Structure 1
C-alpha cells in the first residue's frame, strides 16, 4: 500500500489483495455497481490464481477506482509469449473524470513494461478515446468458417456436467495441461477457463462443454440453427480440428464457425470478426503481430 496524490487529494494505492476479505468485498461491490456481476463465487471456488492481480485506489475506506491485470502466457505462431491484459477497468460514478483511471493505468504500465511481450485489452465503445492516450491502437480480429459434409462420425461424445465433481476435475485438469491447438492459444490459465465455464454471472459456457472420449478432448461449442459454433478445444496433445468438428456435427449441421484461428487456415474461410461493444486494442508498437497474421484471441482468454 502506498499513497498517491491526484489533483491535490491523497489516495491509497493497493494491489494483490484478493485474500483480504474486506478489500475483496469492496472490489466486488464496485464491480457489481459498474458491471452487474462480481468475482466472489470464483474466488471461493479456489480457481482464482496468482496471475489475476487487482490494482485499486482507496479514498478513506472507499474503493473508488480499479484495474485488473491478467498475466497470460500464450503460444503465438508456435512461440511462447507473455501478455498482460487489462480488465474490469472502472471508477465509482462520483469520482469519474478526475484522472484516477489514468493514474492506475500509468502505474500498471510502468510495473509490467519490462515483464511482458504485449499489453492488450477489450474496450467498450464508450471508452475508445481513452486508451489511445497511453499508446493503444485498435486491431481487427478474424474468425474462420467451413462447410460441413454429411459424414458418419466414429467418435463418442457426451455433454459434461460440471456440477459433478469428476467432470469438474476433468475440465480443470485438461485446461491446466492443454496443448496449444491454434495460431494463438492460451496456456497455463485453467483458472480463467473455470471462471467462464461456471462462475461468471452474466453468461456461462457451463452448458456448452462436450467430452469427446476417443480424442480425450473437451470442446466448448454451441449450435445456432444448422451452424456449429466452436469456441475452444481443450486437449493435452495435438489433434486435428476437423476431427472435433466431425465429432460434434449432427445430421442438421451444414457449417461451422471457429472462434479462433487454426494454425493452418488454408482450408477455412477467413473473415473479419467484430464483437458488439468490444474492440481489441494493443500497445501501438505490437499491433503488427496481429495485423499481419489475422489472429483472434480465444473467447475464454478474455477478461
Structure 2
C-alpha cells in the first residue's frame, strides 16, 4: 500500500503477534493514555474486536478498531459495527492514513452489517461526515422516585475475586434484552470495562441482586441513583431493580439505557462531554423516532 510516496504495511487482526501488539499498545498509550494488554492477557479479547492498522517498518503508526456487536433493538436482532480507537501517530498525521483505514473498513463492512457507528470527540467532528456519517442525538430517561419501597437485597461485587469475575462473565453471556437497545453475546467487552480498563473501570459500580440473578452497574451522586446497566439471564422489572438499589435519600434515578416501556419516565436529550454519536446516514431516524441510547457497557 503506497501513500504519499511512502510504503506502509496494512495489518489486521494481529493481536496474538507480540511485536505488533506491543507497538499498537504503545500508540494507544501515546494517544489515549491506556492500552489493551491487561485485557488481552485476561483471555477475554474475542473475535469481535478486530484491529485495522498501518505500519511503517516495525511500528504501528495509524489505527482503527472494528468492534462487531450484536444488539437487540426494538425486539429485532441486529449486527452493528462500532469503530473506536481511531488514531495516528503525531509524526505521521496529515498524510491521509486515517482516511485510508476508514475507507478500508467501510469497504469491508458496509454490506456485511446493519449499521456502522462511532463516538467521536469534539476535535474530529468534521472528519466522519466525509464517510457518510451523520451526528445523531441520544436520549436519557429519568425516573422521579416519590417513595422508596423495600426491594430485594444486593451486595457489592469484587472483581479481584475469581468467583465474582466468573459470575459477571456468565451473567453477561446469558443476558436477555431488557431495553430498547440491549447488547447481546458480548461478555468480553463487559469484562473489559469491569476489570481490565485501567483508565475507566466500572469495578466499583458493580452489584449483584441474588433474588433476581442480576448484575447491576450503578453509582450514587447525593440524592441521585445512576443506573448504567442491568444484566440478567431472565427478564427483570426495572422498577424492582430501582427500589432494590435506591437509598433512603434517593429521589431521582437516571438511566443509562432506554426502557422498552418509558411511559413513567421523563425523556430528555443526553449529551456526554466531548462525545458525539455518529451513525450512517439514513439510520439517524431510528434514534430520533424511538429516542434511543447505547448502554454504557456497549461503548468502545
Pairwise CA RMSD: 0.8
Inter-partner Cα distance in structure 2 for 1:259 and 1:86: 20
**How far 1:115 moved relative to its partner?**
1.1
Q: Hey, what does 1:128 align to over in structure 2? A: 125
Q: Is 1:212 aligned to residue 209 of structure 2?
A: yes
Task: Give 3-state SS (helix, strand or coil) of 2:282's partner.
Answer: helix
Q: Hey, what does 2:28 align to over in structure 1? A: 31
Task: Give 3-state SS (helix, strand or coil) of 2:130's partner.
Answer: helix
Q: Is 1:103 aligned to residue 100 of structure 2?
A: yes
Equivalent residue in structure 1 for 2:222, among 215, 218, 225: 225
1:227-246 correspondence runs (5 A): 227-246=224-243
Q: Hey, what does 1:17 align to over in structure 2? A: 14
Residues 165-215 of structure 1, C-alpha deviation per residue, up to 9 Å, x if partnerless? 111100000001100000000110000001111111111110111111111
1:257-296 correspondence runs (5 A): 257-296=254-293
Residues 94-140 of structure 1, C-alpha deviation per residue, up to 9 Å, x if partnerless? 11011000000000110111210001000010000000000110000
Q: Comparing 43-52 with 148-157, which one deviates more in the overlay?
A: 148-157
Unaligned runs of 5+ in 2: none
Equivalent residue in structure 2 for 1:190, among 187, 192, 197: 187
Equivalent residue in structure 2 for 1:51, among 48, 61, 69: 48
Q: Hey, what does 2:251 align to over in structure 1? A: 254
Residues 213-256 of structure 1, C-alpha deviation per residue, up to 9 Å, x if partnerless? 11111100000001000000000011110000000011111110
Inter-partner Cα distance in structure 2 for 1:151 and 1:22: 55
Task: Give 3-state SS (helix, strand or coil) of 1:38's partner.
Answer: coil
Aligned structure 1 segments of 4 or more residues deviating by more than 4 angstroms: none
Contact persistence 2:20–2:59 (CA under 8 A): no
Q: Give the TM-score, by structure 2 length.
A: 0.99
Inter-partner Cα distance in structure 2 for 1:174 and 1:216: 8
Inter-partner Cα distance in structure 2 for 1:159 and 1:249: 14
Task: Give 3-state SS (helix, strand or coil) of 2:250's partner.
Answer: coil
Residues 244-288 of structure 1, C-alpha deviation per residue, up to 9 Å, x if partnerless? 000001111111000110001111000100000000001112211
Inter-partner Cα distance in structure 2 for 1:30 and 1:159: 35
- Size of the aligned set, in residue pairs, is 300
Q: Hey, what does 1:156 align to over in structure 2? A: 153
Unaligned runs of 5+ in 1: none
Residues 31-56 of structure 1, C-alpha deviation per residue, up to 9 Å, x if partnerless? 00000000000000011111000000
